[in-house]
Amino acid sequence: MAIRFSKEQAPLEARPQQMVSGAVFRGDLRRLRCSYDLAVDGAVTTSDQIKLATLPTGAVFAYGTLNQSASLGTSNVAIGTSAVHGSNGQFRAAAVKTSTNNPEVFQQVAAAAAAPSVAAQDVWLTVATASLPGSGTIVVDLYFSIVA
């Protein structure tokens, strides 16, 4: 029976052993907490966007979670590095999320497999189809590692 190795483990099995990027293997995860109170911070329509955070230079996105205290109804919510909804979704493709107090883990394979960013990147939540509700809180956690 053959033993096969993941792309990240293979260099560690080679002789002589090779280095693997700490951004994707045995690296430290960091979290950015991003919350938005729909009643206090302002209504969000389909022409609006919420700047969630800025990922630092050298960041490699791992995954994120999306949770909210009220149903987002028929609003299509995308999360990514573009403030334009049609181009957004690098981290979470546009989709509805109606379940409350039930975190959704999101990750796009292309973003998780991407090279470290060469510059700081803004992360946006964009909305399409319908406006977000007028009350409730949205919480997005972004998890990433950094290549120094």
Q: Identify whether the C-beta of residue 49 lies closer than 8 Å to the C-beta of residue 79.
A: no
- Which burial class, exposed, middle or buried, applies to 15 when counting CB atoms under 10 A from its CB (0-12, 13-18, 19+)? exposed
Q: Identify whether the C-beta of residue 88 lies closer than 8 Å to the C-beta of residue 108.
A: no
Query: What pLDDT is stored for residue 7 in this prediction?
Result: 78
Query: Per residue of the chain (148 residues), what is the pLDDT tens digit?
Result: 888 888 778 888 888 888 877 777 777 899 999 999 999 998 899 989 999 999 999 999 999 999 999 999 999 999 999 999 889 999 999 999 999 999 999 999 998 888 889 999 999 999 999 999 999 999 999 999 987 6
User: pLDDT tens for residues 95-112?
Assistant: 999 999 999 999 999 988
Domains within the chain, CATH numbers bracketed: 28-146 (2.60.120)
In terms of pTM, does the model score above 0.85? yes
Q: Identify whether the C-beta of residue 76 lies closer than 8 Å to the C-beta of residue 97.
A: no
